[in-house]
Amino acid sequence: MSLRVYNTLKGQKEPFEPLEPGKVRMYVCGVTVYDFCHIGHARANVVFDVIYRYLKYRGYDVTYVRNYTDVDDKIIQRAQQQHCPSEQIAETYIQAFDEDMQTLGLEKPTIEPKATEHIDAIIRLVQDLEAKGFAYAVDGDVYFSVAAYPEYLRLSGRNLEEMRAGARIEPGEKKRDPMDFALWKAAKPGEPAWNSPWGQGRPGWHIECSAMSMAYLGHSFDIHGGGKDLIFPHHENEIAQSEAASGQPFVKYWLHNGFVNINQEKMSKSLGNFFTIRDILQNYTPEVIRFFILSAHYRSPLDFSDTNLEEARRGLERCYEALQSADRLLAELGMPEDGSQVPQQQEQQEIDQLQALEQRFQEAMDDDFNTAQALGQLFTGVRALNALASSKQKRLKQCPALLQGMAAGVAHMRRIGQVLGVLQQDPATWLHHTRSLACRRLGLKEDDIKQKLQQRQQARQAKDFAQADALRDELASQGIEVLDYPGGSDWKVK
């Protein structure tokens, strides 16, 4: 099966065929750096991080550009509120963004351009549009003329006349048509500004992405990504100004991730249901956040709630527990070279499932990067590993194919995890961290749990099983499940 992607421009899935065989050029709209990133930013960036990883996994040479919008009305407003230069605000939140994305395990894009570092390219692009009759200047402002570009709104499928009827020209704007948009803005007192043929000013938001994407990927490239909220006006305007300037198709495939809802309501600061990445990391590990984000198809809505985060935590915990158990058995038993027994029918089915994990994973991802189905293959691996691990150790020693199947399954799961950005840590280390966070959420002291486990182990060794059971029940009443294994015990939050 070849890779198919949903192209917003065509409104359907299409075979993915890059403009240059074997190479992919991808641009994703980055953040406007005026505040800490929220769960919506996390979703968009994790989604395209996984797409980037998967394209490389499939053998493509990928050039991935993700920008910073570091000059914007919101940045200027925040700087005025804090009585500091806008450059200081931008740099502060660029650093915060980088820290958050690193914590979430994102791979660095190939190039991370800043708008303020591309002012000359932006000015040249605006000049080109003006010279070709697609833009006009008024008192230091420069606007794109929508009337001069007949294909406007073909990405979103909106009706131009209906939109004109509902639009109005804001006070201070001098554009001819309410649908025209700013390419260059005349300077206002106290705002950052650069010299230009139209006087001191700064770029409009939309022109920045066109200039930066074409600077590194050319006039035409393969993938442009972002959230659905960017389809209009941002991406519509990018298409219009880019194609008007170059006369060439701008982007072949447009990919857009869905919205994040909070407890089934739209996320909004005004509603008070706004969560930053840093807020969530107080209670959950970074991989749990990734696992949660990838549990839904990237184009579908994602409902953020404590319940759904807990479900993601438990699911990822199951994966790590299966790997830990398999690693322990493989280390204890080694890999015998001889053995008279062959797998039974059910055992062979488990081995076959483990051997097929990556193929099934690829089939899911080739269907428009369906991470929800891809995660399902990890759970298939968990069930198969646990089934084989439940065999008696004597049988495992006498049937090398069982241990070989387990080892192959562990390797496949970790390779799948590498693409998804999960299962990247030592299982014992990750499980300890997530359980410590769970204790914090429940108001429990980890040292108390360990002390009771130690007392229970001593009771078991003394064959005082009534005391051992009482300690287990006491922990269970606090939401703690005891896990026994040969040679010791562990625990987890129910």
Higher pLDDT residue, 449 or 3? Answer: 3
Residue-level pLDDT at 360: 98
- Model-level pTM? 0.94
* Alpha-carbon span 27 to 10, nearest angstrom: 18
DSSP state for residue 328 in the 8-state scheme = H
Report the top-level CATH class of 306-428: mainly alpha
Q: How far apart are CA 337 and CA 397, in angstroms?
A: 10
- pLDDT at position 227 is 97
Q: In this model, does residue 26 exceed pLDDT 90? A: yes
Range from 283-287, 327-331, 335-339, 453-457 that averages highest in pLDDT: 283-287
Q: What share of the chain is helix, strand, coil (3-state, %, to 5)?
A: 50, 15, 30
pLDDT at 23 over 80: yes
Domain ranges of the chain: 4-136+206-282, 306-428, 444-493
- DSSP letter string, 424-463: -S-HHHHHHHHHHHHHHHHT--HHHHHHHHHHHHHHHHTT
CA dist 340 to 24, 253, 336, 389, 394, Å? Answer: 50, 55, 11, 19, 12
Q: What's the pLDDT at 441?
A: 83
Dihedral angle sign, alpha carbons of residues 285, 437, 331, 323: negative
Comparing C-alpha atoms, which of 285, 312, 307 is closest to residue 372?
312
**What whole-number distance in Å separates Cα of residue 98 and Cα of residue 105?**
11
Distance CA 168, CA 303 (A): 35
Tokens read off for 403? 């241990």
Identify the residue with better confidence: 446 or 47. Answer: 47
Give the pLDDT score at 270: 63
pLDDT at 400: 87
Under a CB-based contact definition with an 8 Å cutoff, are residues 250 and 13 in contact?
no
Let me know: does 388 contact 347? Beta carbons within 8 Å: yes
What phi and psi, each to the nearest 5 degrees, are found at residue 178? -60, -20
* CATH code assigned to 4-136+206-282: 3.40.50.620
CB 85 within 8 A of CB 336: no
Coil, strand, or helix at residue 3?
Answer: coil
Answer yes or no: is pLDDT of 80 > 70. Answer: yes
Share of the chain above pLDDT 70, in %: 97
Q: Which residue has the higher pLDDT, 263 or 159?
A: 159
pLDDT tens-place string over residues 100-127: 999 999 999 999 999 999 999 999 999 9
CA dihedral (385, 318, 261, 95) positive or negative: negative
Distance (Å, whole) CA 56 – CA 68: 23
Q: Find out whether 185 and 115 touch, Cβ atoms under 8 Å.
A: no
- Three-state DSSP at 304 gives strand
